[in-house]
Structure 1
Amino acid sequence: MSTPEELLQKTEFDYVVVGGGSAGAAVAARLSEDPDVEVALVEAGPDDRGQDVILRLDRWMELLESGYDWDYPIEPQENGNSFMRHARAKVMGGCSSHNSCIAFWAPREDIDEWEQRFGATGWNAETAYALYRRLEQNEDAGPDAPHHGDSGPVHLMNIPPEDPSGQALLDACEQAGIPRTRFNTGETVINGAGLFQINRQADGTRASSSVSYIHPILDRPNFTLLTDFRARELRIDADDVCTGVDVVDSVVGRTHALTARHEVIVSTGAIDTPKLLMLSGIGPAAHLEEHGVRVRVDSPGVGQNLQDHPEGVIQWEANKPLPQTSTQWWEIGIFTTTEDGLDRPDLMFHYGTVPFDMHTLRQGYPTTENGFCLTPNVTHARSRGTVRLRSRDFRDKPMVDPRYFTDPHDMRVMIAGIRKAREIVAQPAMAEWAGRELYPGAEVQTDEQLRDYITKTHNTVYHPAGSVRMGPADDPMSPLDPDLRVKGVRNLRVADASVMPELTTVNPNITTMMIGERCADLVKQARVSAGSAGASATA
């Protein structure tokens, strides 16, 4: 592999995409389809090629708190687990190179809500679903599914029904009133359970955004991949035009100036994107001044509106040996509701055949090497957190405060989730599999006991979003307009999960890739419009 210094053969491009993650890889690949534009993709982490621990999906849990993880601690939580950490990928492909590759189209209601409730004009299910189809090649989404893309870069497949404990769990769900279902059929699953679809290739390689979008285009003469370069600050001139970005190489720590003739697209994720904007003078004025950062745009919504899927866990010993191989160890999803009248589920479970004890062991709960768990998570948590600068030094980790369970709705749903998990596993279909409940334990029954257990041991599904949300031009709390342009600065856009006004009901990784696809379309449209305007002016 080349060193960062060897990669940096030129510094001026038409478009510079900062962040080679789920959305950024899609933006760069699509923009570089035009041979007349030069595109650079800048990634702070290393290349993923040749890295088996990255590319083999069944090894994904080895990546947590590894050298491929930014591993952000969270601020002390008044109602949550202060030991929790946010895994954010430090490698090409971003979190699509770091996660379990659970692949979901968001419910239509989620995307329509972005437009109808939050004023993100143009972001609706019709547009999003066309982009989902464009980005994927879907092995099988069921006989009733609408036509799925058959030539997109991202390969989706059904998890095969090979795990007998998982099949027993699906039987138990049916006995508990939650029917079997297929996912990604175009219909919203309000109450149903099934095997996930995952973005994985047939040989077990994860179909990350890097594998899917970037590996096939590395020989394009107009595309430059710069790995191991970390963004330090956006370059913004006196006329509030973003002209590029200062990046620091990982070998000698030297700063280099990259120039963008047309636009910079920031795709560094829901934690690092607000950090980079604030370091560049775009954010809440008082906060920037506190850290000695020159204020270019007073944008109070930068770093606000942080959302996540908080996750609990309930674990059982298994009475029989569990499978020793898996696609990625979390193969089944369950959706249901905790109240009547909802158009989307407010509760989701992942089913894992692993000891999920990363927060229970320190609290003294027993563990096992042969156990299974259900992890209830709140699909639309109402608690909102913040991302803030720790200092003006780009090397310092930001202050991430999710403010878990500060809205009582979220704890109510989570407690209901623990009770629903017990109801499912108590069904006859699981009788031969379910042994002792290890945590929280059968003696933990009251709301107060469950609340205490959840507060001490909950985790996250690692889905931070919403911290640089898009919205109407006149909304001061939306730093972006619906075309993903940063308000107050020209030639600067954002494309990653931070732009979501509301986090999706489901695992958001495929939706984040979709955001990258749409961003590329918007940039291309702007280029065409600018060309047409120039031609008219000279006619």
Structure 2
Amino acid sequence: MSDESGYDYVIVGGGTAGCVLAARLTEDPDCRVCVVEGGPSDVGDERILALRNWINLLDSEFDYGYTTEEQPRGNSHILHSRARVLGGCSSHNTLISFLPFPEDLDEWALRGCTGWDAHTVLPYRQRLRNHIVPVAEQDRNPIAQDFVTAAAEALGVPVVEDFNRRPFADGAGFFSVAYDPATGHRSSASVAYLHPVLDRPNLTLKLETWAYRLLPDASGRLTRVQVRHADGSTATLRSERETLLCAGAIDTPRLLLLSGIGPADQLRALGIDVLADLPGVGENLLDHPESVIVWETDGPLPPNSAMDSDAGLFVRRDPALSRPDLMFHFYQVPFTVNTARLGYPTPDHGVCMTPNVPKARSVGRLWLRSADPGDKPALDFRYFTDPEGHDERTIVDGLRLAREVAATEPLRHWLRREVAPGPDVRTDRELSEYGRRAAHTVYHPAGTCRMGAEDDPTAVLDPQLRVRGQDGLRVVDASLFPTMPAINPMVTVLLAAERAADLLTGRDGPAPTGTERR
């Protein structure tokens, strides 16, 4: 193992947040930044850049593929995809891009996260470099358009032209997506933030390089990052200002635990020397669980689509709520990875709706199986275990509402039959059993290093994103979330990274626009 030249900042993880920080910090030509990314570059790789290829990236060479612990009330066979490529999950996902609801950010502030309220955070939308637009007209599949019309008619919700124009509390429409409609290419964090600045002499990318341990220097600061290259060789990188962990809600807590930061009893049981007893590391594992209902169509569908999952629906089951508590994606392909395992047929041509729980109340945890960095951590999301049964009821209601939409023209005439669970599954008990066993994830793990108030014993980070008790170590990724935003969280991560760049540089945030409550 050899020491390499030091940098002002070492960023562990070249994903959604890491790309933002690298671009922003290297705007200062005297600031030397090294990005450690476990996967390859996405530059010029059509497999990554072509948005419609996203589904082929799951369980591929670009995917870490984390398994799920036994789920007594859910699906134990879910493979949690985490991207192994520059740009992280923004190079791997559907790039559905929603601004967080103001209520979600204000909820963080109420939990002691000073400076993370909507008034402060939402103006950072002005700085986002991603090209985020509603799905272009030429990419609007006719059956998806008819889904939008039928959903509005069946459920009495408005058609939403732009889900990022607020206020909206419910509605059906085509989503906003970070892409270039002319080429079908992604506007991922790497494309938008890093590709234009790859020639900066103060930016170093360490690709196919995996960080597996943090080490303290003589003063006790965790300034040394041990890494392993693709050829098996190892090295130590040194940060002279701060080490920034941007490896995501699974690998950031994993790295902290391997480095001796986490629940002391668990670490000692694995033979790991304890540097800091932080019981919240790996706890508060959040997600957006969803189920699926599948229909066979009369024949092949028109080919045009942004990425085959680009329309959907938000509803409030409780009209007193100010934000949705149920959402669907409408897939223009039959998503049958879980229904086939349960014995249901896979149609040659079909569509599905995926009822989703925006504010799930079931909370899980992550832990190390051993002290070996090569062993993947254990993930127990504890799906559908909330005592009030909120998550289960949301799925049952969603399956029923999906059937109402499917029975409404102009969508109805496209559909030949319901394949899964089939029209004979009708009672709450039957729908719950099917819905939980066929449940999946939208690949939104979060919360495992959450920030919180000073007097919160389980908070891992303070509102400046500093790891408790560790000078010069911050976390910037979805693991910082105290609670889950109701929407796809990628834009929330981008906003958090833009704000983190200001916290690091001392730059003032953008001026409020007066639209933060929109």
TM-score > 0.5 by shorter chain: yes
Question: Contact between 2:297 and 2:416, CA under 8 Å: does it hold in 1?
Answer: yes
Range with bigger deviation, 427-436 or 454-463 = 427-436
Corresponding position of 1:196: 175
Q: 2:153 aligns with which of 159, 175, 179?
A: 175
1:278 maps to a residue whose letter is L
CA distance in 2 between counterparts of 1:225 and 1:22 reads 15
Q: Contact (CA 8 Å) 1:40, 1:224: kept in 2 or not?
A: yes
| Other structure's SS at 1:200 match | strand
The equivalent residue for 2:473 is: 492
Structure 1 spans left out of the alignment, 5+ residues: 136-152, 528-539
Q: Equivalent residue of 1:472, what SS?
A: coil
1:160 and 2:139 matched: no
Hey, what does 1:79 align to over in structure 2? 73
Report what 2:112 is aligned to.
Answer: 119
Whether 1:128 aligns to 2:93 is: no
> 2:282 maps to what in 1?
303
Deviation at 1:157, TM superposition (A): 2.0
Q: Which amino acid aligns with 2:116?
A: W
How many equivalent residue pairs? 502
Instruction: Give the superposition deviation at 1:325.
Output: 3.3
Distance 1:69 1:165 in 2: 31
Q: Give the whole-Å Cα distance in 2 for the aligned partners of 1:25 and 1:361.
A: 38
Equivalent of 2:30, from 18, 33, 36?
36
Query: Per-residue deviation at 1:455?
Result: 2.2
Instruction: Measure, in 2, the Cα distance between the counterparts of 1:76 and 1:385.
Output: 12
Task: Please list, as runs of the form range in 1=range in 2, the aligned pairs for 1:49-448 lying within 5 A after superposition.
Answer: 49-116=43-110, 118-135=111-128, 153-161=129-137, 162-176=140-154, 177-201=156-180, 202-237=182-217, 239-251=219-231, 253-407=232-386, 408-448=389-429
For residue 275 of structure 1, give the secondary structure of its aligned residue in structure 2: helix
Shift of 1:428: 2.5
Tell me how far apart the structure 2 counterparts of residues 238 and 469 of structure 1 sit (CA, whole Å): 28
Q: Once the two structures are aligned, what percentage of the paired residues are identical?
A: 47
Residue 293 of structure 1 and its aligned partner are, at CA, apart by: 0.8
Amino acid in the other structure paired with 1:271: I
- Which whole-Å CA distance do the structure 2 matches of 1:300 and 1:86 have between them? 24
Whole-angstrom distance in 1 between the partners of 2:245 and 2:164: 32
1:189-218 per-position Cα deviation (integer Å, ceiling 9, x unaligned):
321011111101231111111111111111
What letter is aligned with 1:286?
D
Structure 1 CA distance for aligned equivalents of residues 485 and 346 of structure 2: 32
For 2:486, give the aligned amino acid.
Answer: T
Secondary structure of the residue aligned to 1:442 is: coil
1:520, CA displacement in angstroms?
1.0
Query: Normalised by the size of structure 2, how large is the TM-score?
Result: 0.94
Counterpart residue type for residue 410 of structure 2: A
1:507 maps to 488
Deviations 1:79-133 (CA, angstroms, capped at 9, x unpaired) = 11001110000111000000011011011111111112x1110001122221122
The aligned residue for residue 25 of structure 1 is 19
How far has the Cα of 1:413 moved from its partner?
0.6
- Unpaired segments ≥5 residues, structure 2: 509-518
1:450-465 aligned within 5 A: 450-465=431-446
Query: Post-superposition shift, 1:163?
Result: 1.4
The offset of 1:427, in angstroms, is 1.1
**1:238, distance to aligned residue in structure 2 (A):** 5.5
AA paired with 1:115?
A: A
Alignment-mate amino acid for residue 157 of structure 1: V
Residue 237 of structure 1: how far off its partner (Å):
3.4
Q: 1:239 to 1:186 in 2, by over 3 A?
A: farther
The aligned counterpart of 2:452 is 471
Aligned-partner SS, 2:223: strand
Runs of 4 or more above 4 Å deviation: none
1:447, CA displacement in angstroms? Answer: 1.0
Looking at structure 1, the residues matched to 165 and 451 of structure 2 have their Cα atoms a distance apart, in angstroms, of 25
How far 1:26 moved relative to its partner?
0.5
> Which deviations, in whole Å up to 9, do the C-alpha atoms of 1:466-495 show, x marking residues without a partner?
110001122111100000000011000000
Q: Displacement of 1:239 after TM fit?
A: 4.1
Q: Secondary structure at the match of 1:86?
A: coil
Q: Give, in angstroms, the shift of residue 164 of structure 1.
A: 1.2
Assess if the C-alpha contact under 8 Å between 1:334 and 1:349 holds in 2: yes
Distance 2:367 2:162 in 1: 37
Decide whether aligned partners of structure 1 residues 359 and 185 sit closer, same or farther in structure 2, where only a CA change above 3 A counts.
closer
Cα distance in 2 for partners of 1:24, 1:179 equals 37
Query: How much has 1:10 moved relative to structure 2?
Result: 5.0
Instruction: Give, in angstroms, the shift of residue 339 of structure 1.
Output: 2.5
Residue type at the aligned position of 1:168: D
